[in-house]
Amino acid sequence: MKNLLLVVFLILIIGCKGEDRLKSEKEQATKDSIAGFEVNLDKLVDSETIELNLEQANRLADLPLNCINKEYPNKLGQTLGSEKDLNSPVTLHPAFYGCFDWHSSVHAHWSLVRLLKKFPKLEKASEINEKLETSLSKENIAKEMEYFRQEHNLDYERTYGWAWLLKLSQELQTWDTDMGKELSSNLQPLTDLIVERYEEFLPKLNYPIRVGEHTNTAFALSFAHDYAVATENEDFEAIIEERARDFYLKDKGCPIAWEPSGFDFFSPCLEEIDVMRRVLPKAAFSLWMDNFMPELKDPAFTLAVGEVSDRKDGKLVHLDGLNFSRARIFYGLAKQYPEEYAHLQELADLHINYSFSNLVGDSYEGGHWLGSFAIYALEEAKKAN
């Protein structure tokens, strides 16, 4: 009996010490995650008031303006059926040939539309208007349609480019100006084709793609869901929600401690949360989170920023994108469910501040796409405040 009591006593002591150790490690991790970049901070703004303002918008607008008509270097991602398919980027993709690759060009256009809608008095508003009208002409979109309909291009830009095309279309459809209506109408045939591609592909996808780069399924579903809701496309919305539940409802214990991988610009765990917060009712989402990632509800939760060692390396700079996309999701959770996740706003601020100071003036490897991620994160920051 004495031996049994001794064993129980030791277990209790060890458990208490273990809890103290874990608490100490968590506190140290928080200090380390901040100390690693605090000395480099060209702070965006006070953490309590982070949001996109006109001064930042003028700086950020330069990034897409400097690349949407820059044809080379270029990564076509093209499957050749024959030598007849060989052609210059601007011939193949007259609307979206710049910014190194097709999808980056699409979200560069989204960035310009978003900034111009929010800040009509941008310094380069006239130039932006001119470039958008030129890129998104009926003729150019018709050529893009031709490319997507070719035999070897049926899966072209699946699903990352598809997602951003719907985001651009959504932005144009909610731009209540003559230009917005014109460009939205021009883009609509390609938008409809992308919706069809989603509807054909999603029922055939037996397993979600859980990676930190372009093909992440959860990210594609989130953006598609936003489009479906904004355009009141109930059939499309129903498909997305059904597939999200099929893919993720039974998931448990996402290993966020394994993240990030070296080239990530998405968090597989957080992207999954981002789509499930859209498709599940509040009570169901809360229960799902208790199984999937319960530590996120802990006010002491921390997550070190993704550290970039070389911003001239096109893959390594992905980690700046990871910081922005994590921040976007943290802000979204804090806004939607402040009673449980308000504490994540500060963590989002830290992620933005680490990468934003390196954004403007960055090398082309990051400058051709990171602005879009920053703008989206800052927009979510405003909603969360």
Q: pLDDT tens digits, residue range 176-234?
A: 999 999 999 999 999 999 999 999 999 999 999 999 999 999 999 999 999 999 999 99
Residue 151 lies in a domain: no
User: Which is it for the CA torsion 177, 65, 192, 242, positive or negative?
Assistant: negative
Distance CA 330, CA 219 (A): 14
Residue 9 lies in a domain: no
Residue 237 lies in a domain: no
Torsion angle of alpha carbons 23, 27, 310, 349, nearest 10°?
Answer: 120
| Enclosing domain of residue 317 | 40-66+298-385
Residue 77 lies in a domain: no
Domain count along the chain: 1
Residue 311 lies in a domain: yes
Predicted confidence (pLDDT) at residue 47 exceeds the cutoff of 60:
no
* pLDDT of 131: 98
Cα-based distances in Å from 84 to 76, 81, 93, 155, 259: 15, 8, 15, 19, 43
Cβ neighbours for 119, distance < 8 A, ≥ 6 positions apart:
54, 57, 58
Rg for the chain, CA atoms, rounded: 22
Residue 344 lies in a domain: yes
The stretch 47-75 carries a mean pLDDT of 89
Of the pLDDT bands very low, low, confident and very high (cuts 50, 70, 90), residue 117 is very high
Residue 194 lies in a domain: no
- Range in 29-38, 167-176, 184-193 with the lowest mean pLDDT: 29-38
309-333 tens-digit pLDDT: 999 999 999 999 999 999 999 999 9
* pLDDT of 359: 82
Quote helix, strand, coil % in the chain, to nearest 5. 65, 0, 35
DSSP symbols for 168-206: HHHHHHT--SHHHHHHHHHHHHHHHHHHHHHHHHGGG--
Q: What is the pTM of this model?
A: 0.88
Residue 319 lies in a domain: yes
